[in-house]
Amino acid sequence: MYISHETAANLRYGHKSVDDTSQRLYDFSLPCLKGVLLRTPGAVDPVPNTVCVWVGDARVLASSNIANGGMPIPPGESLFIPIDDVSKIWVVSTVAGQDVAWMAA
């Protein structure tokens, strides 16, 4: 039996300080093959977030608004997005200074 192994050829990662204005996760086009993993710092991290970071496209709001509210990532949680470019992801929060770590492959 043959088992296929997929690997990440180019691992890229970083952090983004998020505030109450929606902004790109990464300012320049950064293609990826597998997608992007996002994680917000929680209680076990040295500097935890205090509120959710909301994820979406350029219209994203830090709310559950049916038209353009984002996907919330509570402190200490993660979200994987199967996407082809890191710069297509936008983030926002209700409190300035929140952090989101990201890793793309």
| pLDDT band at residue 10 using 50, 70 and 90 as cut-offs | confident
Q: Read off the pLDDT of each residue in 42-69 and give the average, rounded to a whole number.
A: 95
In CATH, the number for domain 12-104 is 2.60.120.770
pLDDT mean across residues, the chain: 93
| Predicted local distance difference test score (pLDDT) of residue 75 | 98
pTM of the full structure: 0.89
Q: Read off the pLDDT of each residue in 93-99 and give the average, rounded to a whole number.
A: 97
3 has pLDDT over 70: no
- Give the DSSP H/E element, type plus range, for residue 98: strand 98-104
Q: Across the chain, how many H-helices and E-strands are there? A: 0, 8
Rounded-to-integer distance, Cα 23 and Cα 39, Å: 16
